[in-house]
């Protein structure tokens, strides 16, 4: 299978609104191999978030064929889809989306709880330490800075040892310095631990550091070489 | 970390709201336990009262049987008078095991209850009275010296209230008559405790009811002969036969109309509590739409979400059930006090009987209520689609 993790063939995502049909993703082909670091870029409304959600099995496609880890996603029952996602896919969001009532450590442990994995506190703690949060383990999200929250969110995404990490504008809500730190962390995870990372970003400085850039416009890939210029 | 702590921490988020919701359940459970405790307690107390009368049948002058029933429990007979000839006639009946004639007179004493005034019951009895109530013991003193003496045996409450010991006197204010106290009964938990007993013949003489009775208490050898016994007395003019079973039924009937109302209150309290719980949880589900989406995105299945929300509801109801039980126990005294003032007839003994079974039962009931109330909010939460939930409100 030549370590292809995700294979999308002519996938479409159509939102049917009363007044019109919005084609958020159109006839899109894409393959993602293990160990890649992909930046999805493009103007606002071009379908980056939609595509990321689809590839991460959070959202369904309207038509086309999407294989994730060799499985045809459209054919999977909900519980198999949940199992596939929970074992193999991690998510990081622009606005962190930590559970406000839970501490950093508890937020990180949450996916373990859902995946019925043994709640290895040590692993969660060492992840937080690795991300420089040793002093924040028992803090609530509201007691942390944006950059710290996003690092907790990364720890949460990594705790189940996923094969792919999806990050939707992970630096979008952060100041330049914290944003760079987050980006560096993601890059290191990719380089040192061979984690496959797919992120969206508006920041061409980050985008240009990716091994591969996918430009979207109106739901279509306009260019997928890093030689392309950001339009 | 456990799922229960996720649920519990969420309830702590809006403390006042959770507190009020738990309060609603608490009230519902407390009301329910009190009412059911009253149900059981009243039944037991009334049965106890009736058993303590020692007779199964009462013969009284004709009148309203309801009135007779309550009056009898309050003091041995209706305030209508019949001829003692009836007693002389039936005393030989072979079906009778024990029989005792009574003359009850109620006198208003304006000095009682700190000047509010109240009735004092005087009861003329003879030796047979103690045969029907073999368990009645003397606390001090003893029985009358003669069948027509100006003497009294008093219940322990009267003795305590009037501070009398054998050798003292009790006065009948209206008649300006003094009786010498010769004995004091031990506490029975019945109306006897507050009654002044005197020999039947003395009572007839002092109160000027010559050869009159208010009731005859009868214990049959075999209760199944009740019907034939009643029939034999059917043609006797001016009297009626009331069985204790009837009295019980009559009083329960009187109570049951009040019970319909109190039960409706309990049902309304429960309904309000359930609506409160559903509303609270549903609100918190909608407020957390995004969080629920995130939980799904990090691996929660429908069932996981369902369980968290369901647990929250159940937690509310468990706490409400617990506090409701506690309040019911603490409030039993107050409820008892109120009931004694509003009931047409309140038997002696505890009116509100809160048993461990009742407490456990209501607690389990509260949990079941939580499980039921939680189904819809939990279903709504678990059916949220992750993307829509997360992107909502962006
Ligand atoms: N739930 C929805 N219903 C209808 N249309 C939607 C919905 N979600 C997204 N769209 C539309 O799909 C298109 C792609 O949206 P998407 O959020 O993927 O863009 P994006 O590239 O992530 O934009 P941004 O850079 O602003 O985050 C847009 O035109 C958007 O309006
Ligand atoms: Mg987006």
Q: Which of B3, B294, B390 sits opposite A113 (nearest CB)?
A: B3
pLDDT band at B78; cut points 50, 70, 90: very low
Which residues of chain B have a Cβ shorter than 8 Å from any chain A Cβ? 1-3, 5-6, 9-10, 12-13, 290-291, 294-302, 304, 386-387, 390-391
* CA–CA min distance A174, chain B (Å): 17
pLDDT value of residue B393: 55
- Residue B209 and residue B337 in one domain: no
Candidates A48, A199, A204, A221: which one to mutate for ligand 1, based on the most atoms within 8 Å of Cβ? A48
Nearest CA in chain B to A162: B298
- Residue B87 and residue B230 in one domain: yes
Whether the predicted pLDDT of A229 surpasses 60: no
pLDDT value of residue B54: 80
- Residue B277 and residue B346 in one domain: yes
Whether the predicted pLDDT of A15 surpasses 60: yes
Closest CA to B29 of B250, B298, B330, B283: B330
Closest CA to A195 of A61, A38, A46: A38
Q: What is the pLDDT of residues A127-162, one digit of tens each?
A: 999 999 999 999 999 999 999 999 999 999 999 999
Q: Which letter, b or e, does each residue of A93-125 get, where b requires 16 or more Cβ atoms within 10 Å of its Cβ?
A: bbbbbbbebbbbbbbbbbbbbbbebeeeeebbb
Secondary-structure percent of chain B, ordered helix, strand, coil, rounded to 5: 60, 15, 25
Whether the predicted pLDDT of B257 surpasses 90: no
Per DSSP, A229 falls in state P
**Ligand 2 center from residue A43 Cα (angstroms):** 9
Share of chain A above pLDDT 90, in %: 85
Q: What is the mean pLDDT of residues B16-27?
A: 94
Which residues of chain A have a Cβ shorter than 8 Å from any chain B Cβ? 49, 53, 58-59, 78-79, 82, 85-86, 90-91, 93, 97, 99-102, 106, 109-111, 113-115, 119, 156-157, 160
Per DSSP, A92 falls in state E
- Residue B85 and residue B34 in one domain: no
Neighbours of B188 (CB within 10 A): 18
Last residue of a domain, one of B214, B237, B260: B237
Pocket flag, ligand 1, residue A22 (CB < 6 Å):
yes
Q: What is the mean pLDDT of residues B184-197?
A: 86
* A contact test, residue of B290, B298, B386 with most A CBs within 10 A: B298
Contact A230, A38 (CB under 8 A): no
**Ligand 2 center from residue B152 Cα (angstroms):** 98
CB spacing of A111 vs B290 below 8 angstroms: no
pLDDT value of residue B158: 87
CB spacing of A111 vs B294 below 8 angstroms: no
pLDDT band at B70; cut points 50, 70, 90: low
- Residue B223 and residue B104 in one domain: yes
pLDDT value of residue B41: 86
Contacts of B304 (CB under 8 A, 6+ apart): A114, B3, B295
- Does residue B208 lie in a domain region? yes
Q: What is the residue whose two structure tokens read 């198999």?
A: A80
Which of A49-58, B13-22, B210-219, B337-346 is least confident?
A: B337-346
| Maximum mean pLDDT: which of B88-102, B132-146, B190-204, B278-292 | B278-292
* CA–CA min distance B390, chain A (Å): 9
Using alpha carbons, list the distances in angstroms from residue A22 to B64, B275, B387: 85, 41, 17
* CA–CA min distance A227, chain B (Å): 33
Q: What is the mean pLDDT of residues B33-59?
A: 83
Using alpha carbons, list the distances in angstroms from residue B151 to A199, B18, B154, B299: 105, 66, 10, 89
pLDDT value of residue B46: 80
Q: Report the nearest-CA residue for atom 10 of ligand 1.
A: A24
Pocket flag, ligand 1, residue A44 (CB < 6 Å):
yes
**Ligand 2 center from residue A171 Cα (angstroms):** 12
| Spatial distance between the Cα atoms of B109 and A122, rounded to a whole number of angstroms | 83
Nearest CA in chain B to A59: B387
Q: What is the mean pLDDT of residues B134-161?
A: 90
pLDDT value of residue B234: 77
Q: Report the nearest-CA residue for atom 17 of ligand 1.
A: A49
Q: Is the overall model pTM greater than 0.90, yes or no? A: no
| Spatial distance between the Cα atoms of B359 and B321, rounded to a whole number of angstroms | 9
CB spacing of B291 vs A109 below 8 angstroms: no
Q: Which two tokens stand for residue A201?
A: 């970003």
Q: Which letter, b or e, does each residue of B324-348 get, where b requires 16 or more Cβ atoms within 10 Å of its Cβ?
A: bbebbbebbeebbeebeeebebbbb
pLDDT value of residue A1: 46
Contact A185, A151 (CB under 8 A): yes
Torsional class of A75: left (φ above 0), alpha (ψ -120 to 50), beta (otherwise): alpha
**So where are chain A's domains?**
4-221
Which CATH fold would you assign to the domain A4-221? Rossmann fold (3.40.50)
pLDDT band at B12; cut points 50, 70, 90: very high
pLDDT value of residue B347: 75
pLDDT band at B289; cut points 50, 70, 90: very high
| Spatial distance between the Cα atoms of B130 and B133, rounded to a whole number of angstroms | 5
For residue B368, the Cα-to-chain-centroid distance in whole angstroms is 28
Q: Is A110 helix (H, G, I), strand (E, B) or coil?
A: helix
Contacts of A230 (CB under 8 A, 6+ apart): A41, A204, A207, A215
Q: What is the DSSP string of B17-85?
A: HHHHHHHHHHHHHHHHHHHHHHHHHHHHHHHHHHHHH--SEEEEESS-HHHHHHHHHHHSS-S--EEHH
- Residue B119 and residue B189 in one domain: yes
pLDDT band at B62; cut points 50, 70, 90: confident
Q: Which atom of ligand 1 is nearest to the CA of A53?
A: 18
Pocket flag, ligand 1, residue A13 (CB < 6 Å):
no
Contact B317, B277 (CB under 8 A): yes
- Residue B264 and residue B382 in one domain: yes
Helix count and strand count (H, E) for chain B: 13, 12
Q: Is B222 helix (H, G, I), strand (E, B) or coil?
A: coil
pLDDT band at B22; cut points 50, 70, 90: very high
Q: What is the mean pLDDT of residues B36-40?
A: 86
- Does residue B245 lie in a domain region? no
How deeply is B99 buried, as exposed, middle or buried, from its count of CB atoms within 10 A (0-12, 13-18, 19+)?
buried
pLDDT band at B228; cut points 50, 70, 90: confident
- Residue B26 and residue B81 in one domain: no
Between A223 and B37, whose confidence is greater? B37
CB spacing of B299 vs A157 below 8 angstroms: no
CB spacing of A101 vs B9 below 8 angstroms: yes
| Maximum mean pLDDT: which of A27-41, A215-229, B36-50 | A27-41
Last residue of a domain, one of B202, B237, B272: B237
Q: How many residue contacts between A and B have a Cβ separation below 8 Å?
A: 69
Domain with B160 in it:
63-237
Share of chain B above pLDDT 70, in %: 93
pLDDT value of residue B261: 83
Q: What is the pLDDT of residues A161-192, one digit of tens each?
A: 999 999 999 999 999 999 999 999 999 999 99
- Does residue B186 lie in a domain region? yes
pLDDT value of residue B388: 86
* CA–CA min distance A229, chain B (Å): 30
Q: What is the mean pLDDT of residues A95-122?
A: 90
Nearest CA in chain B to A120: B1
- Does residue B243 lie in a domain region? no
- Residue B111 and residue B219 in one domain: yes
Neighbours of A161 (CB within 10 A): 13
| Spatial distance between the Cα atoms of B226 and B223, rounded to a whole number of angstroms | 5
Q: Where are the beta strands (DSSP E) in chain A?
A: 4-16, 21-33, 37-41, 63-68, 71-72, 89-92, 164-168, 196-200, 212-217, 220-223
- Residue B211 and residue B73 in one domain: yes
Contacts of A164 (CB under 8 A, 6+ apart): A5, A6, A32, A56, A88, A89, A90, A195, A196, A197, A198
How deeply is B224 buried, as exposed, middle or buried, from its count of CB atoms within 10 A (0-12, 13-18, 19+)?
exposed
Share of chain B above pLDDT 90, in %: 43
Q: Is A6 helix (H, G, I), strand (E, B) or coil?
A: strand
- Count of domains in chain B? 2
Pocket flag, ligand 1, residue A133 (CB < 6 Å):
no
Q: What is the pLDDT of residues B105-145, one digit of tens each?
A: 888 777 776 666 777 889 999 999 988 888 889 999 999 99
Q: Report the nearest-CA residue for atom 30 of ligand 1.
A: A45
- Residue B223 and residue B338 in one domain: no
Per DSSP, A169 falls in state S
- Residue B86 and residue B232 in one domain: yes
* Average model confidence (pLDDT) across chain B: 86
Residue B258's φ and ψ, nearest 5 degrees, are -70, -35
Torsional class of B299: left (φ above 0), alpha (ψ -120 to 50), beta (otherwise): left
> What is the side-by-side order of every strand in the sheet holding A21-33?
A21-33, A4-16, A63-68, A71-72
Give the 3-state DSSP-derived string for B335-371, with helices as H, strands as E and coil as C.
HHHHHHHHCCCCCCCCCCCCCHHHHHHHHHHHHHHHH
Q: What is the residue whose two structure tokens read 């008078």?
A: B81
Last residue of a domain, one of B179, B212, B237: B237
CB spacing of B3 vs A101 below 8 angstroms: no
* Average model confidence (pLDDT) across chain A: 91
- Does residue B156 lie in a domain region? yes
Residue B309's φ and ψ, nearest 5 degrees, are -65, -40
Give the 3-state DSSP-derived string for B295-321, with helices as H, strands as E and coil as C.
HHHCCCCHHHHHHHHHHHHHHHHHHHH
Q: Report the nearest-CA residue for atom 31 of ligand 1.
A: A45
Contact A203, A173 (CB under 8 A): no
| ipTM given for this complex | 0.91
**Ligand 2 center from residue A176 Cα (angstroms):** 19
Q: Which residues does chain B have within 8 Å of residue A160's beta carbon, measured at their own beta carbons?
A: 299
Whether the predicted pLDDT of A225 surpasses 70: no
* CA–CA min distance B274, chain A (Å): 26
């Amino acid at each position: 299978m030549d370590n292809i993790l995700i294979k999308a063939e002519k996938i479409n995502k159509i939102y049917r609104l009363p007044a019109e049909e919005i084609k958020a993703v159109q006839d899109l082909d894409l393959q993602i191999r293990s160990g890649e670091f992909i930046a999805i870029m493009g103007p606002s409304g071009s379908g980056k978030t939609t595509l990321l959600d689809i590839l991460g099995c959070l959202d369904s496609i309207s038509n086309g064929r999407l294989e994730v880890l060799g499985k045809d996603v459209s054919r999977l029952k909900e519980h198999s889809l949940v199992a596939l996602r929970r074992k193999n896919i991690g998510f990081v969001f622009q606005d962190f989306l930590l559970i406000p009532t839970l501490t950093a450590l508890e937020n990180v442990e949450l996916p373990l709880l859902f995946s019925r994995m043994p709640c290895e506190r040590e692993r969660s703690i060492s992840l937080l330490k690795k991300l420089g949060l040793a002093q924040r383990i028992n803090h609530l999200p509201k007691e942390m800075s944006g950059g710290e929250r996003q690092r907790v969110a990364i720890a949460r995404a990594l705790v189940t040892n996923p094969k792919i990490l999806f990050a939707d504008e992970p630096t979008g809500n952060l100041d330049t310095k914290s944003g760079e730190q987050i980006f560096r962390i993601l890059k290191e995870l990719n380089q040192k631990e061979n984690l496959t990372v797919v992120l969206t970003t508006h920041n061409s400085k980050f985008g240009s550091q990716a091994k591969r850039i996918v430009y979207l416009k109106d739901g279509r890939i306009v260019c997928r070489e890093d030689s392309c210029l950001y339009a | 970390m456990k799922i229960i702590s996720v649920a519990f921490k969420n309830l702590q988020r809006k403390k006042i709201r959770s507190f009020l919701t738990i309060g609603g359940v608490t009230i519902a459970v407390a009301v329910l336990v009190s009412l059911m405790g009253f149900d059981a307690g009243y039944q037991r107390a009334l049965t106890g009262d009736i058993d303590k009368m020692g007779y199964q049948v009462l013969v009284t002058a004709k009148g309203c049987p309801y009135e007779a029933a309550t009056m009898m429990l309050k003091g041995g007979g209706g305030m209508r008078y019949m001829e003692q000839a009836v007693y002389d006639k039936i005393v030989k009946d072979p079906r009778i095991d024990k029989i005792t004639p009574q003359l009850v007179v109620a006198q208003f004493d304006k000095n009682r209850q700190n000047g509010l005034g109240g009735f004092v019951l005087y009861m003329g009895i003879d030796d047979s009275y103690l045969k029907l109530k073999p368990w009645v013991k003397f606390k001090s003193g003893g029985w009358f010296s003669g069948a027509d003496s100006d003497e009294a045996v008093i219940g322990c409450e009267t003795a305590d209230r009037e501070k009398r010991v054998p050798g003292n006197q009790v006065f009948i204010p209206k008649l300006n008559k003094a009786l010498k106290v010769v004995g004091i009964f031990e506490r029975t938990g019945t109306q006897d405790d507050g009654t002044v007993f005197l020999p039947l013949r003395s009572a007839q003489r002092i109160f000027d009811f010559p050869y009159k009775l208010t009731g005859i208490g009868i214990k049959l050898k075999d209760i199944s002969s009740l019907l034939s016994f009643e029939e034999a007395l059917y043609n006797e003019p001016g009297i009626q036969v009331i069985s204790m079973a009837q009295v019980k039924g009559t009083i329960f009937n009187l109570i049951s109309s009040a019970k319909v109302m109190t039960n409706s209150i309990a049902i309304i309290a429960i309904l309000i509590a359930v609506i409160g719980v559903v509303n609270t949880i549903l609100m918190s589900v909608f407020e957390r739409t995004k969080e629920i989406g995130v939980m799904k995105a990090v691996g929660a299945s429908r069932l996981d979400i369902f369980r968290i929300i369901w647990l929250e509801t159940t937690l509310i109801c468990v706490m409400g059930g617990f506090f409701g039980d506690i309040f019911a126990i603490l409030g039993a005294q107050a409820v008892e006090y109120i009931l004694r003032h509003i009931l047409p007839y309140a038997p002696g003994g505890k009116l509100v009987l809160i048993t461990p079974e009742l407490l456990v039962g209501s607690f389990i009931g509260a949990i079941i209520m939580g499980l039921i109330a939680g189904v819809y909010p939990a279903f709504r939460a678990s059916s949220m689609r992750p993307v829509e939930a997360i992107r909502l409100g962006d």
